[in-house]
Structure 1
Amino acid sequence: MTRSPSQNRYASPPCLAGEIAADYFDPGAIDPQQAIDVARWRHAERKRLRGERDSISVADRRGAGEALSSVLRVELDVRFAGASRSVLSGYWPIKGEPDLRPVLGELHALGATIVLPVVETRNAPLVFRRWTPQTKMAIGNWKIPVPPPECEQFTPDIVLAPLVGWDAAGYRLGYGGGYFDRTLAALVPRPFSIGIGFQSARLATIFPLPHDIPLDLILTENGPQPISREA
């Protein structure tokens, strides 16, 4: 049976793909029962953390977003000389995620190439389409705005990843589709990954599995968070 294009294409942000593909495990790399247990725990934690995030007031959410924007600017200045010559992947905020679009606009004005992630093929690495403040966004799957297909594609030097949850070892709890980890594993050289989330979303551990790739940096409204691989 021939599948229509709409059945074969998926749009950004990749994290939302977890609502469609809730499990992403290599059955040969881990005990199946452990994978099931971790998947159930993560599902419950996602639901809890998203509920808490939804309860944040508009004013508090705006304040946290502004604080995160300031923290991100400082880190980009220190680590990447402002990132004005970098290809930086942002994200289009959904479901109460911190809104960093003003910073993306500033970086674009300074000369950075800004891209947004797009899921073009299910269970495959992401592609990154160029975005500017003037881009006429298309409506992708799940009614999320995405850069249209004619936008040029780039490989990012820096990737901003929104967090549902995170832990002190640098691991990210996303929406469960595995697209972020799959993409990091495929990109050579691997981009510098920065998790963006709320301080309240910290977990003792996400119970990382073999496919989980730790982030290089985690930022919250409180500033950069210490990462210990021993945590």
Structure 2
Amino acid sequence: MTSENADSKAVLRREAFARRRALPPEIRDRFTVRLIDEGLRLARLWRPSAVSAFHPIRDEPDALALLGALADKGFMTALPVVAGRGSHLIFRLWRPGDPTVIGAMGIVEPLDAAPPVEPDLLFVPLACFDRGGHRIGYGAGYYDRSIERLRAMKTVHAVGVAYGVCEVHAVPYEAHDQRLDAIVTEQETIFADER
């Protein structure tokens, strides 16, 4: 990654985090309800064998409620596990109520005893996004490596989960950055256009 791209991504990430932090609680609550509805709709559309979402950190939207709704409808659900720096994520079967541990990155993860699974629908956290399906995450590349690996094996849909205030005009990206198929916000579902 060029230092210019890294610098501009860092600025966009910082600004998006500030906008996200400023959101009132009622928008967060409303988004949880919309995410459940829209996540179920997309799962019915794409019929995945397994669905992954994320345990929210900081001010991220609550994807756990979506996982609960998906599990209740019979979908196999999973959470990611960070295996180590520079690696791809390992996805382990999990549904709300299953035991968890705090992982190496300080994020809640399923136990090592939970069976691994290769999801083909991933609900992905992000800092900011554009309508071309490009995202800025937290800078470690775990999701890019994981989505690339999964897409080399089968058809995979990656859906960003973000508040509308996290949209930017254009995300600087490079060849290794994986595009999202869609982004779900509290206001709309954006299917990525070609950029």
Q: Would the TM-score normalized by the shorter structure come out above 0.5?
A: yes
Q: Which amino acid aligns with 2:79?
A: L
**Is the counterpart of residue 109 in structure 1 residue 49 in structure 2?**
no
Counterpart of 1:217 (choices 161, 182, 188) is 182
In 1, are the aligned partners of 2:82 and 2:105 still within 8 Å (CA)?
A: no
Per the alignment, residue 45 of structure 1 pairs with: 12
Aligned twin of 1:156: 119
| TM alignment of 1:180-191, pairs within 5 A | 180-187=143-150, 188-191=153-156
Q: Secondary structure at the match of 1:75?
A: helix
Counterpart of 1:75 in structure 2: which amino acid? L
Shift of 1:133: 2.0
TM-superposition CA deviations, 1:175-212 (whole Å, max 9, x none): 11111111122221252111111111111111111111
Structure-2 residue corresponding to 1:69:
36
Provide Cα deviations, 1:96-144, integer angstroms capped at 9, x if missing partner. 1110212211211222111111111210111101112231111123432
Q: Which runs of 5+ in 1 are unaligned?
A: 1-24, 26-34
- 1:92-171 aligned within 5 A: 92-171=55-134
CA distance in 2, matches of 1:135, 1:173: 30
Tell me how far 1:44 sits from its aligned partner. 1.2
Q: Which runs of 4+ in 1 moved over 4 A?
A: none
Q: Cα deviation per residue 1:26-79 (whole Å; 9 max; x = unaligned)?
A: xxxxxxxxx101101111111111111111122221112222222222222333
What SS does the aligned partner of 2:79 have? strand
Q: Return the structure number with greater relative CO, CA threshold 8 A, min gap 6.
A: 1
Contact 2:128 2:168 in 1 (8 A): yes
Check the 8 A contact 1:130/1:152 in 2, yes or no.
yes
Identity, % of aligned pairs?
27
Contact 1:68/1:223 (8 A) holds in 2: no
d(CA) in 1 for partners of 2:56, 2:140: 17
In the alignment, the residues of structure 1 paired with residue 18 and residue 173 of structure 2 have an alpha-carbon distance, to the nearest angstrom, of 22
Q: Confirm or deny that 1:201 pairs with 2:166.
A: yes
Unaligned 5+ segments in structure 2 are none
- Give the structure-1-normalised TM-score: 0.78
Q: Distance in 2 between matches of 1:74 and 1:223?
A: 13
Alignment-mate amino acid for residue 214 of structure 1: R
Q: Superposition RMSD on alpha carbons, in Å?
A: 1.5
Judge conservation of contact 1:88–1:157 (CA < 8 Å) in 2. Answer: yes
Moved more, 125-134 or 87-96: 125-134
Corresponding residue for residue 173 of structure 1: 136
TM-score w.r.t. length of structure 2: 0.92
Q: Matches of 2:35 and 2:171 in 1, distance apart?
A: 22
Q: Aligned partners of 1:120 and 1:78: how far apart in 2?
A: 31
